[in-house]
Structure 1
Amino acid sequence: MTDDQDRPRAAAAFDALGAEYEKAFAGSREHRHSLEWLLARLAPGSRVLDVGSGTGRPTAETLADAGHEVLGIDVSPVMVELAARQVPAATFRCADVRDVPLEDGSFDAVCVYFSLLQLDRREQTDLVRRLVRLLRPEGYLVLATVPLDVEGVDAAFMGQPVRVTSFPAQELVALAEDAGLEVLAEEASMFTPAHPDARPEPHLFLHCRRTGQPRMG
């Protein structure tokens, strides 16, 4: 399946889930801890990019409520509509983040919570490198994923068909470091979404700071 075919497939899955996704993941203490980690380091009025912003909760809402300027980008029109209604203090755009013109060095932080899994490994690597370039020097990037050694696997996520690609934890850390990030903290856990079709899944949160430019290669 080509990338152009994968994009609407990913959007359709999350359109179908809508608010159910927010309910299923509302109990993630690790996600809340990750946001607290970021909030403790951001200067007042920081500009934050939320990649794969979903319904706007908890990420965009938590950051906007703390007085930060949040831009959320998501491929799902249903998610973006929900987010705009639920978090009016933030700005949301329905788009693939790879297609949105954004200025290098224009964000104090970037959040990437579970939004890489629909991309293949080369696309994930390229996107993380681009997101690092969007950060100001010493800016923060928080990345969460399901750390599995899988590539292009067709699966069901909360009853919806998805194609999943990920990296094992050690390779994800190496990807972040090669992109010009210093990994300041890691948190690994098991989490079961509150949904009848959900299964326990490993979660990994990387809390990083931009220290340089992506390495060549």
Structure 2
Amino acid sequence: MDEERAPRAAAVFDALGAEYESAFGASPAHHGSLRRLLADLTPGSRVLDVGSGTGRPTAATLTAAGHDVVGVDVSPVMVDLARRRVPQADFRQADIRAMPLADASFDAVCVYFSLLQMSRAEQSSLLHRLARALRPGGTCVVATVPLDVEDVQGVFMGQDVRVTSFAAEDFTAAVREAGLSVTHVESLLFTPAHPDAAPEPHLFLHCRREHPRPTG
């Protein structure tokens, strides 16, 4: 595990704060993804929101629909904003790479654009852990920026960042290798509402943890 990545990611999102929500919170594809997720959930589902940010739109949408949300974010500023904006959810400031996750403890897991400052090995390892944290039949939604880049220096909304990602087909393969079946794919270009932003590709994968096959 690269111990330096979490402090760097926390510093970036501490600096962005509510500005991140203003830039990305109105994404039609993100809201459409949440509607699709809600259609899959049974009442009172327990949902893990990885990289929960300000709590909006993901945790806010899910709690408004009556679901039990645990949000995890490495940024203390984001967690403070989320706790004030979505008090119905349980937000924890933690590094998801090191956070204990019990097997089959969630009905759904959301991972909206929160892997990009992890190495490829860390992303793949986390996907396996998140798949195991889902109950059989549970839903996982993963969104990323599908680019074939590894530890590349860039600027994101005025903040220096180092980004790692996969090409779309490789990311989809990593999700499947984690034990998830892909049930829906959406790929598009999105321009964040920020003066320094440029159009960027977004990939949304809706997945399911399969029920174990009977043996014997």
TM-score range, shorter chain: over 0.9
Distance 2:98 2:92 in 1: 11
TM-score for the superposition, normalised by structure 2: 0.96
Alpha carbons 1:135, 1:210 under 8 Å: kept:
yes
Question: Counterpart of 1:69?
Answer: 68
Gaps of 5+ in 2: none
Distance 1:210 1:130 in 2: 12
Question: Counterpart of 1:83?
Answer: 82
TM-score for the superposition, normalised by structure 1: 0.96
Distance 2:100 2:126 in 1: 13
- Secondary structure of the 2:136 match is strand
| Mapping of residues 101-180 of structure 1, within 5 Å | 101-180=100-179
Alpha carbons 2:51, 2:112 under 8 Å: kept:
yes
Structure 1 residue identity aligned to 2:180: L
- State the 4+ residue runs in structure 1 displaced beyond 2 angstroms: none
Of 79-88 and 5-14, the range deviating more from structure 2? 5-14
Question: Counterpart of 1:4?
Answer: 3
- Secondary structure of the 1:71 match is strand
Structure 2 residue identity aligned to 1:91: D
> Aligned residue pairs: how many?
212
Alpha carbons 2:101, 2:129 under 8 Å: kept:
no
Distance 1:15 1:133 in 2: 30
Structure 2 residue identity aligned to 1:111: C
Structure 1 residue identity aligned to 2:137: E
Distance 2:27 2:164 in 1: 22
Distance 1:100 1:27 in 2: 29
Question: Counterpart of 1:96?
Answer: 95
Computed over aligned residues only, the root mean square deviation of the Cα atoms, in angstroms, reads: 1.0
Structure 1 residue identity aligned to 2:78: M
Q: Residue deviations 1:122-178, cap 9 Å, x none?
A: 000000000000000010000000000000001100000111000111111111111
- Secondary structure of the 1:190 match is strand
Alpha carbons 1:180, 1:212 under 8 Å: kept:
no
